[in-house]
Chains A and B, each alone.
Chain A
Amino acid sequence: MNLTLHVWRQAGPNDKGRFEKYEARDISEHASFLEMLDILNEELVEKGQEPIAFEHDCREGICGSCGMVINGVPHSKQKAITSCQLHMRSFKDGDEIWIEPFRATAFPVLKDLVVDRSAFDRIIQKGGYVSVRTGNAVDANATPIPKTDADAAFDAATCIGCGACVAACPNASAMLFTSAKVSHLGLLPQGQPERYKRVEAMVAQMDQEGFGSCTNHGACQNACPKSISIEYIARMNRDLMKAKLLGSKDD
């Protein structure tokens, strides 16, 4: 199939950037979206032009590198996939596709579609570590965990930190990401030490990075490749209120 692409091109962090129009020719419907960009890039290199920079690694939806906004939706309109899991068969011949980087002040564009998501790393770092001597690895079932808690913690832990939630949110809020990270520890017995200290520190860092404020649209959970629910946001709100208002401590 043949496609018309409008791709955001930006030489570096200080470049103003602009959309460039490209024609992608003879793309197989079996190609993935990133492969389509690879094919286009080869052509650009042959013509002596700069290839389109985009981030990718695993190409199977588990690393969270490949973030881009495809026709106005992070990771495309398809539910519960990352950009690398998108196949060209979801487009048809002659389609026009707009490809933009994730937009947030806290995610500055480095080049073309590549943004700097270290803000997420700093939020995680603020979560710190649980300061207990762990000794040897314990038996997997030594601490009984109710099945519902284990499942809920696991669902939160499926967050791959891709940033689609921020990109989809009209407020560029990082509440879904932060709440998933807060909850996957907070729901487990092993995460109880420093639970409240953690939520306070992570939320403070989230605010400091300049993410916006949630208005409960739910755009984040729709864009999330792992379909993480905004119920975790409510959970994080509760933990923060307990920490600040009731002075809940855990050390």
Chain B
Amino acid sequence: MSVARPKQDALDARLASLVVPDGFDPARASALARVRAMGLPGRRDEYWRYTDPADLNAVATPYAARSADAENEPAPFGGIDQLKIVFVDGVFDAEASDDLTLSGVEIARLSEAVDMSWAQDLYGSLEARGQTPVQRPLAAINTAFATDGVLIRVTGQAARPVSIVYTRNSETSDAMLHHCIHLDAGAELTLLESGTVAARSCSVMEVEVSAGARFHHIRTQGRDHDPRTLTHIFARLASGAMFKSFTMTANGILTRNEAVLELVGDDAVAHLAGAALGDGAFHHDDTVFVTHQGLRCESRQVFKKVLKNGAVGVFQGKILVKPGAQKTDGYQISQALLLDDDSQFLAKPELEIYADDVKCSHGSTSGAIDETALFYLRSRGVSLKAAQALLVLAFLAEAISEIADEALAEDIRSRLESWLAGHGA
């Protein structure tokens, strides 16, 4: 495979600006080879038509001003007992982080874990699998160049959630973090992520969920206006494994969250949900690829976006049911609530099914707030703002209900309310 000349130049320039760190050498070398074969993403690529990758490809980090809204953000997951791991502009902050010991879990930093064999096996492997049938060159760049990240091996029941907290102080920081999470059979972990990684970031998280293991992931991004954020989750589920991930995004000039899930074993369950809120210069893209291979697996995708003042929402979600994946139960819904005529929602839902005994449904809608319901609430004395907030939360409810833990769901709800209070809806 070869890359066309101008694209080749752009790729060479980008790669020349990066340094391959020590450790995980074979995985990094093969990732680099993948990148060279693929080139950088461009708007002609099927899954980059709605989102311009230019800012993510650029050699220099686009300037990202700090915003007051970010400072007003309530502390992430306050009041929830958690083990905190803090990164500032993509650099580990030992002082702000907790001691990395936790019952039921082994935690290490990517930059210090040269000889962990489970991590050597996992690092880059799910990302590499996730390159077919759709190429994700920026994920391969991450594998080649990631400077740090968290390696988590869950051997039993994690005593409390592991919480990765990002803060950014720089207007030009550029971060590549790569997390690997391996849940042994029957193990269980809740992983929290919060904050803005850097002025620009490209992250990868690989999650291996062994038989009967349970992984819960709750993430809040944003309240920061200017950053460019690209995340990838690559997860593989063995028999009876469960994977649940919920992401809340409020603000952000460019956010793209990719998720590539493979349900390999039988009876696995994968749920992905997102609630995104944008006002003004906001571009939010969820790109999801779920592959069903095992028998009787269930997958659910619930993505909701609230858009105003020209905000743009993108959803690209695919369910692929492989031959033999009988009794698959796949569900996908993507919906946008457009609070004005300037905002737009672009959706590309896809089903590709090669088994005959499956149940798959998908739907995508965009619409305005229900004026009749709004009047009904107001006629009972609820103020316009409160009525709008109530209806927006009602719109998001199906996504929030994917958070199993009630305290975490309440935390997310109060963050959504706080954003809505500040953005006139």
The answer to whether A and B interact is no
